[in-house]
Amino acid sequence: MQRKHSESCSILLCFSLLYLNTVWGCDQFGRFNMPSLFEQGDIMIGGIFPVFTTEITIFFLPCIISYLTISVMFCRFDWRAYRWIQVMIFSIEEINKDPAILPNISLGYRILDSCASPTNKINCFGVIGLLKLFRIVLVLLSQVSYFSTCACLSDRLKYPTFFRTAPSDFFQAKALAALVKRFGWQWIGVIQSDNDYGRNGILSFTEEVQKFGVCIAFVGKILRTYPMDKILNVVEMIKQSTVKVILAFVPEGDFYPLMSEIVKQNITGIQWIASESWITAPRPSTPEIYQAFGGTLGFVVQKMAIPNLQSFLTSISPYKDPSAAFVMDFWETVVGCRPFLPREHTGTKTTVKICTGNETLNSQHMFFKVSDLRVVYNVYNAVYAIAHALHQLPEQVRNNANKIHSTNNCLFFCQHFGDNVFFDKNGDPPAYYDIINWQLINGQVKHVTLGYFASVTNGAYELNIKDEDIVWRTGHMVPTSLCSNVCPVGTRKAHIKGKPICCFDCIPCADGTIANLTGATECTPCPKEYWSNDRKDKCILKTTEFLTYQEPMGIAVTVVSLLGASLSLATMMVFIRYRETPVIKASNSELSCFLLFSLLLCFLCPLTFIGRPTVWTCMLRHTAFGVTFALCISCVLGKTIVVVTAFKATFPGNNAATKFGPAQQRIIVCSCTVIQILICILWLKLNPPFPEMVFKYSHKKIVLECNPGSEAAFYAVLGYIGLLAVICLVLAFLARKLPDNFNEARFITFSMLIFCSVWITFIPAYISSLGKLTVAVETFAILSSAFGLLICIFAPKCYIIMIKPEKNTKKHVMGKI
């Protein structure tokens, strides 16, 4: 049985039901009296191997109240450990025959059985195996372990003389973590042995996988000496969990009772990951166990074939030296009979089969298959490491064991069949593991090698695996193990309070943010000019909004503008055609034509508000509007002044009409217009209007509009036009009751009332409108005020000229009829 035995510091006494050729016990000093293999040499090397391993059988006996639980401990002969013993002897004999290593010095050995437990120190130079570390006197010996993998033993301060040829569990934890990362498992369970081996291994593994965001769903603890109720608790833990991948970092002896119970309860559908302590163990590698553990993946140490070993093993015979320790048990295990009976059983009936002496070893037994050796190779290297360390010491200090650990720190040697062996600063060899997959081939469980994990330079690691050749528990599809399904695109992870980070809800991204990868932890905001699509997985360009000629509002503004311009032009043509008639003469034909021309320009101004805003159109629309309306109101002001002066001229001695002739009228119009032009020039010079993308109105749209630049200049332009309009209104109101039938002051008063009303309501509407509605409000104000002037001032005149020509006389105009 393969057993990690570096964790415990107590010694487990085994009561064997097998026929041992030596009785075990303790002397008065508490030292073991156990069977051993001994060979004298100049330098002695000790070996400790778990030849007899413990098995626990639990009996439930009915009692008065409940059940009485009785645990009986047995020992079982482990032929694999016995092979390790023979490899140690083989290595020592091979070294003694090699003149290149320790010439003129012979190595001897003393080999003891540990019964799968840490063992007291023996008086030898070097020890192959593991001792009770806390009782070692460091100056006496060096230890080279072939099997102990606990990462805790790499602490050079605590264990300065400890070395090993098996890779540390620190590397195995990295290998297991790399395997978990490779296949994307994020929600896994863990079974550990409740000792240093399991605790340290899982601790290292957890530290590694947490770097990849992996969560441990549960940790089940087992031990071979645990009662059945504890094992059943772990089984229930597995059944209630949602994990589909479980790591078992447990020696085979501790794990086998749980494996049997899992098979018994038919718990399937779980992908098992194995530590190297049980992945290749023969006892669980059966078709029965395969029902629940088929497809298991795990790591084992590198395998190697040792030349000439098979012939050495086949030469073992109890008839050569019947007193040799363990050989009787070996013969009984491999051949099936016992050459001799112990003396205490002589003459009694026994169930043990006695050999006839003609039996031969079965070369097909697994004991003799040496082509794929793993732990055996570690034993072989451990012996050679001690021999090479001794060889490098000066002859006068070879018997001073307190220096060997410093020498071994730099030890490097090459096996005669080409394999390099060395230790790092912690006394550990480089890591190399084969990846093993349990597969059922021809009804037998096979440990198929599908890749490797190896440490390379600079602390990096290499994982190479043939994914397509793996037989999973789920078949040929890679199993998944997630607490929560991967969040699709357009959503993000939201941690569920009180649960591990691997358990989460998927929350849709907020508007304006996206997640274009599955499993996103955060949603990414879109750039300012973009917005998220409906699926929240892509940023799309926001739609731009401005008043266009194609939309209904733009078409309406265009039609009304052109209609107003056409009416202005037609009215101008009528006034030119009938300029000699009394109605035209009475309304001051020159100012009327100027006014109609300015109204024509006012009606064309809204066309600059349609289309994509640019630097030039933004400057043109505001300045053109300001100048044309200033020209328009200036003409109205001129006409109003003419009416007022004409009224005053009716009084005796008043010659105001003679002082306000055509030249003065032109000066009034030009000067009032020039003031507005100067305001616009300053506006364009200091802070002109410019096109702007406005995002505040809508998340999904970009409103393109003209920023006025200087709001003070914008309101100055409007205020100046309003000032002119108010002056016109006041003057026209004063002259509204002139006695003429055709008193133009009344029409100007009505037009100015409409003009002022429109622009007074424009200001709050302009401020409160959004987007292209702002443009619509402004164009509406321009068109409505222009139509108010055109209709109120010129419609009555056109009515008389075109429809009532009989009233187009001087007497009628002057009110004499």
Question: What is the spatial distance between Cα 205 and Cα 175, in angstroms, rounded to a whole number?
Answer: 9
Q: How does pLDDT run across 93-116, given as a tens digit for each residue?
A: 999 998 888 888 899 998 888 765
What is the rounded CA–CA span in Å between residue 334 and residue 356?
Answer: 15
With a cut of 70, say whether residue 815 has pLDDT above it.
Answer: no
What is the 3-state secondary structure of 629-655? HHHHHHHHHHHHHHHHHHHHCCCCCCC
Burial 679-692 (b: 16+ CB within 10 A, else e): bbeebbeebbbebb
In this model, does residue 135 exceed pLDDT 70? Answer: no
Beta bridge partners of 672: none
Report the chain's mean pLDDT, rounded to a whole number.
80
**Nearest-CA neighbor of 735 among 643, 661, 797, 654?**
643
pLDDT digits (tens, 9 = 90+) for 672-729: 999 999 999 999 999 999 998 888 887 888 888 888 889 899 889 988 988 998 888 8
The mean per-residue pLDDT over the stretch 299-303 comes to 84
Digit-coded pLDDT (tens) for 395-433: 545 555 444 444 444 566 666 665 667 677 777 787 888
Residue matched to tokens 């929240």:
536
Confidence of residue 216 (pLDDT cuts 50, 70, 90): very high
Strand partners, 128: 47, 144
Check: CB of residue 700 under 8 Å from CB of residue 531: yes
Q: Which two tokens stand for residue 371?
A: 């082509």
Across 668-812, the runs of DSSP E, i.e. the strands, are 690-694, 701-707
Its pTM stands at: 0.57
DSSP letter for each residue of 746-760: HHHHHHHHHHHHHHH
Cα-Cα-Cα-Cα torsion 626, 632, 638, 640, nearest 10 degrees, comes to -110
Place of tokens 């998340």: 699
Cβ-count burial of 511 within 10 angstroms (0-12 exposed, 13-18 middle, 19+ buried)? exposed
User: For residues 114 and 130, what is the distance between their CA atoms, to the nearest angstrom?
Assistant: 9
The single-letter DSSP state of residue 216 is E
**157-184 core/surface letters (b: 16 or more CB in 10 A; e: else):** eebebbbbbbbbbbbbbbbbbbbbbebe
pLDDT tens digits, 247-300: 999 999 899 999 999 999 999 989 999 998 899 888 899 999 999 999 999 998
Task: Show Cβ contacts of residue 712 under 8 Å, excluding neighbours closer than 6 positions.
Answer: none
pLDDT recorded at residue 682: 93
**pLDDT tens per residue, range 366-375:** 788 877 777 8
Which domains does the chain show, CATH number per domain? 25-165+318-351+373-422 (3.40.50.2300), 169-305+432-469 (3.40.50.2300), 491-541 (no CATH), 559-786 (1.20.1070.10)
Name the β-bridge partners of 274. Answer: 248, 298
Distance CA 117, CA 567 (A): 114
For residue 362, the model assigns a pLDDT of 77
Q: Which percentage of the chain shows pLDDT scores above 90?
A: 29
Q: How far apart (Å, rounded) are the C-alpha atoms in residues 625 and 630?
A: 8
Using pLDDT thresholds of 50, 70 and 90, give the confidence band for residue 134.
very low
Average pLDDT score over residue span 537-545:
90
End-to-end CA, the chain: 139
Asked if the model's pLDDT at residue 133 lies above 60, the reply is no
Nearest to 479 by CA among 182, 136, 256: 182
3-state secondary structure 47-77: EEECCEEEEEEEEEEECCCCEEEEEEEEEEE
